[in-house]
Amino acid sequence: MASTNIANPPQNSRKRAKDLVLNLQDKICQGLEAVDRKGAFEEESWKRPEGGGGRSRVMREGNIFEQAGVNFSEVEGKELPPSIINQRPEAKGHEWYATGTSMVLHPRSPYIPTVHLNYRYFEAGPVWWFGGGADLTPYYPYLSDTRHFHRTLQQACDSINPSLHKIFKPWCDEYFFLKHRNETRGVGGIFFDYQDGSGKVYKGQNPNGEAANIAGKLGNLEMNWEEIFSLAKACGEAFLPSYIPIIEKRKDQNYGDKERQFQLYRRGRYVEFNLVWDRGTIFGLQTNGRTESILMSLPPLARWEYGFQANDGSREKLLTDLFTKPQDWFKDETLEEKCHPFHAVD
Amino acid sequence: MASTNIANPPQNSRKRAKDLVLNLQDKICQGLEAVDRKGAFEEESWKRPEGGGGRSRVMREGNIFEQAGVNFSEVEGKELPPSIINQRPEAKGHEWYATGTSMVLHPRSPYIPTVHLNYRYFEAGPVWWFGGGADLTPYYPYLSDTRHFHRTLQQACDSINPSLHKIFKPWCDEYFFLKHRNETRGVGGIFFDYQDGSGKVYKGQNPNGEAANIAGKLGNLEMNWEEIFSLAKACGEAFLPSYIPIIEKRKDQNYGDKERQFQLYRRGRYVEFNLVWDRGTIFGLQTNGRTESILMSLPPLARWEYGFQANDGSREKLLTDLFTKPQDWFKDETLEEKCHPFHAVD
């Protein structure tokens, strides 16, 4: 295994990773309050009986955000759950340390996408790794918004290594995949996990995912601790510039009950992904995490409707046909003509 | 293992089990339409690519029921998923057959509990088993309704063997348990699984569950195929008499937005149980089941609220303190005095 070649992390690795995600939480919350202009974050600090704790922040009934949750946590435990030990057998029998920030924003307007971000760092005995990413889930999608989000994250990845985005983009499509619906959660973004320097890619939920093959073809992607740290930092700092311009562009678009009902219906899919497939959620619930903080990702209101199908030729059908399937957002020249009839380009 | 002593099922076992659950679906739907007086079931028949199919029925926007879903399915497959093989290793490598009916009713009024029923029959190579049960999830609970529901199911169990209810009642509390909330889903009812004649009881989600210990103390509970078939039949037929009187008693009680909001919030717990812990849901999603039918159990509308806690001394707090914890509904004499201040006895 490549992971036996991993260099040791720097001596102050835990503190540096913790400061990174803590600062990220601060900056993101400031940026969100500024754009919302009404809502303010309420903060709750908590301790975990087995060790560690966190700082949960929630904004409710804001101008832009119906609910925004931004968590920070730093936790320790005796033994990682089997789901992680399977992927990192070297961690077995060792105490573990993890710190991270995670965020899900549920805007009120169906024209502003839901968005998720998470960056985390683990140490367990001889092994350490970074994981994280960000992904966008529109209800009434726009090609330009999708491209802006992807482009901003790509630039952050490129600043570390121009091969990375080629892997992390398809890995995101592969991970944020609802197998029981044969849909991606949304238009994706970037995702990486177990990054320990070996450059190894793990399969996501979608059995047809291509991330590992692509990584194989790209060849040597080894990075040291500092490079992966810088990657997490660059991607984390790219979040506000990737998302705020979408808010500014969409916030004054009017919508009616039809759009609201469709948004609530699609939020049901968000619940399904998080509770059925999301490793972070399952990890939290398995390790006796703080339930209220873990489930802060769930929407304030969601709807299910048996047998719902969007009408052919509708804006809603465009979402399921095009924007919940993996796409090459930059290079596919058919996307514009497919979006054009729905005024969904720009 | 006791299961090596299992008698073979009768020759027409599949047909008899199928007719049982099919008739149950029919009778229940008729009873629900009669009590609703407005809503009617729409039916969809479907086939499963790997073999078999089903008949899904849904009532929407009824008088009593905001949504009522009653499924029937008869399906076959090559190999059972690992979660079942773990419990029934003899089934490994064998084709399987399963038939069952499952139902979740989401009434509009917060005074009428949500209710679930499921009875199912499996064959796989040398093994067969029945499973099922019914459980009640009130929002604004009444002790008399809870007792009526339990008493009716108890009588059905007693008609087969007076020891059964002593096991199936705690097994239900143990199975319909949200570990991440330390709550039962509601006031329970009955639950049994893998009933193949050996009388063995399997642990549910709640690690403190007592069902297996109780079964051990009660001693020999072996039943033959006919007896377990009769048990499923008796319990299934007890459903309408266990539930319809609760509707009749509560349907004209007025409620306001506060009660509605609390109901929507608690429906979030129903979603959490079904997507995170329910074996039936996970089995369906793992075996490429029909997603729309499986997720028909989810409520038409649900709400999450970070950090919500019911006020001390409130009717809502009574639910979480008393009615989402295992209770001895018949013998515990303190229940009446605890419910009395909230007018929650009768």
Q: pLDDT for A35-77, tens place per residue? A: 999 999 999 999 988 889 999 999 999 999 999 999 999 999 9
Q: Do A264 and B301 touch (CB under 8 A)?
A: yes
Q: Which two tokens stand for residue B329?
A: 């509904």
The burial of B267, by beta-carbon neighbours within 10 Å (0-12 exposed, 13-18 middle, 19 or more buried), is given as buried
Q: Report CA dihedral (A287, A293, A298, A301) to the nearest 10 degrees.
A: 140
The CA-atom distances, in angstroms, between B282 and each of B26, B135, B262, B302 are 26, 19, 27, 21
Higher pLDDT, A228 or A209: A228
Q: What is the ipTM of this complex?
A: 0.94
Beta pairing partners, A300: none
Q: Report CA dihedral (B331, B335, B340, B343) to the nearest 10 degrees.
A: -90
Q: Do B306 and A271 touch (CB under 8 A)?
A: no
Mean pLDDT of A188-199: 90
The CA-atom distances, in angstroms, between B343 and each of A94, B142, B314, B325, B328 are 53, 8, 11, 19, 20
């946590």: which residue's tokens? A73
Q: Do B285 and A180 touch (CB under 8 A)?
A: yes
Query: Minimal Cα–Cα distance from A22 to chain B, Å?
Result: 21
Predicted pLDDT at B3: 41
Q: For chain A, give the mean pLDDT.
A: 93
Q: Do B179 and A291 touch (CB under 8 A)?
A: no
Can you say how many angstroms the Cα of residue A204 is from the centroid of all Cα atoms in its chain?
Answer: 14
Ranges of residues in chain B whose predicted pLDDT is under 70: 1-6
Least CA distance to B44: which residue of chain A?
A: A307
Q: Do A179 and B285 touch (CB under 8 A)?
A: yes
Other CB atoms within 10 Å distance of the CB of residue B208: 9
Structural domains counted in chain B: 1
Task: Say how far apart CA A345 and CA B17 lie, in whole Å.
Answer: 55
B44, B264, B268 member nearest A307 (Cβ):
B44
Q: Which domain covers residue A128, as residue numbers?
A: 2-342
In chain A, the DSSP E strands lie at: 42-47, 52-60, 65-77, 96-107, 114-124, 127-137, 177-178, 183-184, 188-195, 301-303
Chain B residues in contact with A264 (beta carbon < 8 A): 301
Task: Say how far apart CA B77 and CA B289 lie, in whole Å.
Answer: 11
Mean pLDDT of A84-109: 95
The CATH number of whichever domain residue B44 belongs to comes to 3.40.1500.10
Query: Which residue, among A288, A295, A306, would best test binding to B if mutated, counting the most B CBs under 10 Å from its CB?
Result: A306
What is the DSSP-derived secondary structure letter of residue B292? H
Mean pLDDT of A303-312: 97
Predicted pLDDT at B216: 83
Chain A residues in contact with B48 (beta carbon < 8 A): none
Residue A205 has pLDDT above 80, yes or no: no
Predicted pLDDT at B5: 46
pTM of model > 0.90: yes
Per-residue model confidence as pLDDT tens digits over B69-113? 999 999 999 999 888 898 889 999 999 999 999 999 999 999 999
B58, B275, B305 member nearest A300 (Cβ):
B305
Per-residue model confidence as pLDDT tens digits over B292-334? 999 999 999 999 999 999 999 999 999 999 999 999 999 999 9
Annotation says B116 is catalytic: yes
Cβ proximity of B297 and B266 under 8 Å:
no
In which element (H, E) is residue A285 found? helix A279-286
Query: Which one of the listed residues A94, A106, A116, A340 is annotated catalytic?
Result: A116
Higher pLDDT, A211 or A65: A65
